[in-house]
Amino acid sequence: MTQRSLTLGRHIVSPPVVLAPMAGVTNAPFRGLCREFGPGLVYVNEMVMATAVVHGNAKTERMMTFTPDEQPRSLQLYGSDPVMVGAAVRRLCDEGRIDHLDMNFGCPAAKVTRRGGGAAVPAKPNLLRAIVREAVRAASPYGVPVTIKFRKGLFESLLTHVQTGRIAAEEGVAAIALHARTAEQHYAGTADWDAIAELKAAVPDIPVLGNGDIWEAADAVAMMRHTNCDGVVVGRGCLGRPWLFRDLVDALAGRPVQSAPLLGGVCDVMASHARLLAVHLGENLALRDFRKHTAWYMTGYPVGGEMRGRFGMVSSLAELDDLIAMLDPTTEIVPGGERIRRGHTNGPIRVALPDGYLDRLDDIVVPDDDSAMAVSGG
């Protein structure tokens, strides 16, 4: 495969690999850990709400943390009010806080879509266009590129991905990413890579990134060959496996990919991750948050249910070290262990929408975007 690259403002990303923003996961410690394995790629911060940015919500301010060496500083924003989105983008750019802005039009979480945000927005093309236009207009004077990420649509009966891609291209978006599932599908079933190919064919003049079911580096190669997309966005596949970004760099350069690490190597990374998180959040909060990560790190390794349960209750770095010392570092991953799904697997779901939201798809009536101060999603 010919080596490709992605240009985002003054940053050239090669290979074109992006870490998808994930709520409660892609904070500064996790991004830094991934960056150790794959320097020079794009690692997007957690999604934040435009209204919360404008009002300076304390939780949102903490979430918008970047380390001094982080380049590019990528943040994902969502909102359903074009004016509020524009104000948020101007603040972020004017304060020099970001190098790249990603807009979320794909989050299926009820707390997001019931306010008309995330995956709900593309159902209303005029509203989508107004939001994207304001974001690009606000970011352009600062040289900050805007990208957008979205799904196929709300349901199979209301597919909007091609229309969304065309609007993005017309409004000056730097690149687009498609998670090839509907909001209703959530995270169930199989990603529809044919939809990515359809999108790329429809908007050939803008970079199209594919997202969905990249569990191993070979999947990224297969997706790009199947769809002719320009790069990939990786989400759940890297949970408990930040070395996936090293593998992606090697595979997309045509180099052999390393074998899955032994359990001892996994534990070394896990312990490092926990310590980075403790510096970021404080040890007590960090270890409570880290419990979910322990399950992901040990996915595919035969450590036993009792030990998994003990890791799932870990409350201190010392306890984590003691538990790690009880494991056999020479344990190998089970055959196919890399492909065991991590993170969300549920679906289909009932998509939550504002009352009457689908009655008039051509309007630009803004839902009550100012009723919540800080909502994060994935």
Predicted confidence (pLDDT) per residue in 245-275, tens digit: 999 999 999 999 999 999 999 999 999 999 9
The fold adopted by the segment(s) 263-332 is 1.10.1200
* CA of residue 158 relative to chain centroid, distance: 23
Residues annotated as catalytic (active site), given as ranges: 107
Residues 6+ apart with CB under 8 A from 26: 19, 20, 43, 44, 45, 46
CATH number for the domain formed by residue range(s) 14-258+362-371: 3.20.20.70
What is d(CA 299, CA 240) in angstroms, rounded to the nearest whole number? 8
Q: What pLDDT does residue 368 have?
A: 61
Listed by start position, the domains of the chain span 14-258+362-371, 263-332
Are 63 and 376 in contact, with CB atoms under 8 Å apart? yes
Residues 6+ apart with CB under 8 A from 324: 267, 270, 271
Instruction: Encode pLDDT of 57-96 as tens digits.
Output: 999 999 999 999 999 999 999 999 999 999 999 999 999 9
Q: 3-class DSSP state for residue 272?
A: helix
What does the mean pLDDT of the chain come to? 95
Number of neighbours of residue 10 by Cβ within 10 angstroms: 10
Mean pLDDT, residues 195-217 taken together: 98
**How would residue 366 be classed by pLDDT, with cut points 50, 70 and 90?**
confident
One fold for both 14-258+362-371 and 263-332?
no
Residue 219 scores a pLDDT above 80:
yes
Instruction: Encode pLDDT of 141-173 as tens digits.
Output: 999 999 999 999 999 999 999 999 999 999 999
Residue 284 scores a pLDDT above 80:
yes
Residue 338 scores a pLDDT above 60:
yes
| Exposure class string for 309-338: b at 16+ Cβ within 10 A, else e | ebbeebeebeebeebbeebeeebebeeeeb
Instruction: Encode pLDDT of 132-143 as tens digits.
Output: 999 999 999 999
Residue 372 scores a pLDDT above 80:
no
Instruction: Encode pLDDT of 221-236 as tens digits.
Output: 999 999 999 999 999 9
Q: What pLDDT does residue 377 have?
A: 35
What is d(CA 227, CA 180) in angstroms, rounded to the nearest whole number? 11
Residues 6+ apart with CB under 8 A from 354: 114, 115, 116, 120, 367, 368
Instruction: Encode pLDDT of 308-325 as tens digits.
Output: 999 999 999 999 999 999
Q: What pLDDT does residue 367 have?
A: 73
β partners of residue 19: 43, 234
Q: What is the pTM of this model?
A: 0.95
Q: What pLDDT does residue 378 have?
A: 31
What is the percentage of the chain residues whose pLDDT exceeds 70? 97
Q: What pLDDT does residue 1 have?
A: 65
Residue 46 is inside which H or E element, if any? strand 42-49
Instruction: Encode pLDDT of 2-28 as tens digits.
Output: 778 999 999 999 999 999 999 999 999
Find where tokens 């934040």 sit.
48
What is d(CA 281, CA 111) in angstroms, rounded to the nearest whole number? 25
